[in-house]
Amino acid sequence: MQPLAKLLEAALFAASRPLTIDELASLDPAAGEPAVRVALAALRSAYSDEHGVELVEIAGGWQFLTRREYAETIERAQFALRPRRLSPAALETLAIIAYRQPVGRIEVDEIRGVDSGAVMDKLVERGLIEVVTRGEGLGRPLLYGTTPSFLEILGLKDLEDLPRLEELSVALRRPTPVDEPE
Amino acid sequence: MTSPILRDPGNSAFVVELEKFSGPLDLLLHLIREDEVDITDLPIAKIADQFLSVINELGLNQAADYLEMAARLLRIKAQLLLPRRLGDDEWEDPRAELVRRLLEYQQIRELVDWLGHAADVRAERFGRGYEAPPPDAPPAPLQIDLNDLLAAAERVIALIPEPMLHRVVPRPLDVEGATARLNALLAEREQFGWTDVVGRGATIADVLSAFIALLELAKRSSLTLSQPEPFGPMVITRATPREAA
């Protein structure tokens, strides 16, 4: 393996969170970003089969993660535990915020048909959403967006990884005008 | 989602588990799916009756969100009953807005399934530096004992020689000087205590200046302030570059 790939391997092993290309490139100022990308690709393929961990692109960065097939055994031994699952209400709220960001609480309430204040507070507390700006409307409402932690817990590279709305079986379209009864 | 409605053979009433529904739209969608009706051509009268009977069964008529939806359904039902002239171009289907919301909500539910699956898959892969998920319980409320409070006040006052509160302090607070002293301390030590900042012979002005400087530096994330226990000695810790960013 190239020295740069080894250096990246060490840094990624040491870090407890995904490291961005910028962060990785800062390890060796002489290398430059393209070389880091090449080394990352090499590193990823080196870990592609023969190892219990693999190099994953996640939340705008790179991280070593254990392979899925070992989750149950590791968890049974209590070396690590899966995080708690998010409630349906939390996922609904996250889905709306992920697609509509920046979005205010009132809009989330309207789409869900229920008050979402408590759920949103919880999500802010867990660091999955944050206030990104203020709206122009009455009272300059706080507008929320998703955080890198949101991508991390879903294992997404970036927001582009979310399914496109057209791909869903129910497209969000103007309802076809209902035929007028005779 | 598994069917939350169990039909009791001896009783035609619905038995529904409330936790299965995240709101009135969810319940409506469920009823629509049960009846296998076209969402864009809602049989409002039927759906409204079912909705009302379910929320009555569940005592959900206490919940404002469900009540509001019930009222909306009844209004749409009434509007549909109103006579209208044939070929009236002005007529707008009173169901249109509800149908739009239901379709939108149905899409959200589909995204919820997708996100839930993605989170489950991700949860099966552990990263380095695993930290146990934080407990749900909020931190216990601060237990303040009057004696603790007085003792803490005593300790602060004891650092001030002869408190003469009536005397007007001739010079203003020297926050800049205190900031400089703190920065010097931060440069040479990663962690130190309050007494290292003010020393024994400090005046009120010194104490106040140091305190304001501390708060200001904490706000700028140059350092973090912590107390291991209520009214315990304050620990000043240099912020790591990542926190300061």
Q: What is the pLDDT of residues A91-101, one digit of tens each?
A: 999 999 999 98
CA atoms of B216 and B239, how far apart (whole Å): 13
Does the distance separating the beta carbons of B129 and A17 come in below 8 Å? yes
pLDDT cut 70: percent of chain A above it: 92
Q: Are A88 and B22 in contact (CB under 8 A)?
A: yes
Does the distance separating the beta carbons of B95 and A113 come in below 8 Å? no
How many CA atoms lie less than 13 Å away from B205 in the CB half-sphere? 11
Q: Are B156 and B163 in contact (CB under 8 A)?
A: no
CA atoms of B165 and A35, how far apart (whole Å): 66
Minimal C-alpha gap between B91 and chain A (Å): 9
Tell me the sheet residues that pair with A142. Answer: A134
pLDDT at B140: 66
Does the distance separating the beta carbons of B114 and A68 come in below 8 Å? no
A88-165 classified as CATH 1.10.10.10: yes
What is the separation of C-alpha A164 from the centre of its chain, rounded to a whole number of angstroms? 15
- Ordered strands of the A129-134 beta sheet: A103-104, A142-146, A129-134
CATH architecture of B146-244: Orthogonal Bundle (1.10)
Minimal C-alpha gap between B213 and chain A (Å): 28
pLDDT along chain B (245 residues), means of 10: 41 49 86 86 88 80 79 89 72 85 90 93 85 61 81 82 62 81 87 83 83 88 84 83 49
Give the residue among B200, B216, B208, B198 at the shortest CA–CA distance from B172: B208
pLDDT at B167: 63
Chain B window 62-91: which residues touch A at a Cβ cutoff of 8 Å? Answer: 65, 69, 86, 91
Contacts of B84 (CB under 8 A, 6+ apart): B91
Chain B window 86-125: which residues touch A at a Cβ cutoff of 8 Å? Answer: 86, 91, 93, 95-96, 99-101, 103-112, 114-116, 118-125
Whether the per-residue pLDDT at A86 is higher than 50: the answer is yes
Arithmetic mean of pLDDT, A42-52: 91
Q: Is A115 left (phi over 0), alpha (psi -120 to 50) or beta?
A: beta
Give the residue among B174, B194, B184 at the shortest CA–CA distance from B222: B184
pLDDT at A90: 93
Does the fold of domain A88-165 match that of domain A3-76?
A: yes
Minimal C-alpha gap between B43 and chain A (Å): 12
What is the separation of C-alpha B87 from the centre of its chain, rounded to a whole number of angstroms? 51
CA atoms of A117 and A104, how far apart (whole Å): 10
What is the residue extent of each domain of chain A? 3-76, 88-165
Q: Which of A67, A114, A154 sits opposite B65 (nearest CB)?
A: A114
Minimal C-alpha gap between A27 and chain B (Å): 15
CA atoms of B53 and B11, how far apart (whole Å): 13
Whether the per-residue pLDDT at A174 is higher than 50: the answer is no
Chain B window 36-55: which residues touch A at a Cβ cutoff of 8 Å? Answer: 40-41
pLDDT at B202: 80
pLDDT at B60: 65
Does the distance separating the beta carbons of B112 and A92 come in below 8 Å? yes
H-helix or E-strand containing B78?
helix B64-81
What is the residue extent of each domain of chain B? 5-81+92-120, 146-244
More confident residue, B15 or A182: B15
Each residue's pLDDT tens digit, A58-73? 999 999 999 999 999 9
CA atoms of A173 and A165, how far apart (whole Å): 10
CA atoms of A181 and B46, how far apart (whole Å): 17
Residue whose entry in the numeric block shows the structure tokens 């959403």: A129
Does the distance separating the beta carbons of B115 and A94 come in below 8 Å? yes
Give the residue among A58, A61, A91 at the shortest CA–CA distance from B117: A91
Instruction: Give the residue on B whose Cα is nearest the Cα of A92.
Output: B112
Could you please state the CATH topology (level 3) that the domain comprising A3-76 is classified under. Answer: Arc Repressor Mutant, subunit A (1.10.10)
The answer to whether B127 contacts chain A (CB < 8 Å) is yes
Q: Give me the total of CB pairs closer than 8 Å, taking one residue from chain A and one from chain B.
A: 144
CA atoms of B125 and B123, how far apart (whole Å): 5
Residues in chain A: 182
Contacts of A175 (CB under 8 A, 6+ apart): B40, B96, B99, B100, B103
**pTM flag (> 0.95):** no
Each residue's pLDDT tens digit, A12-23? 999 888 999 999
Contacts of B226 (CB under 8 A, 6+ apart): B234, B235, B237
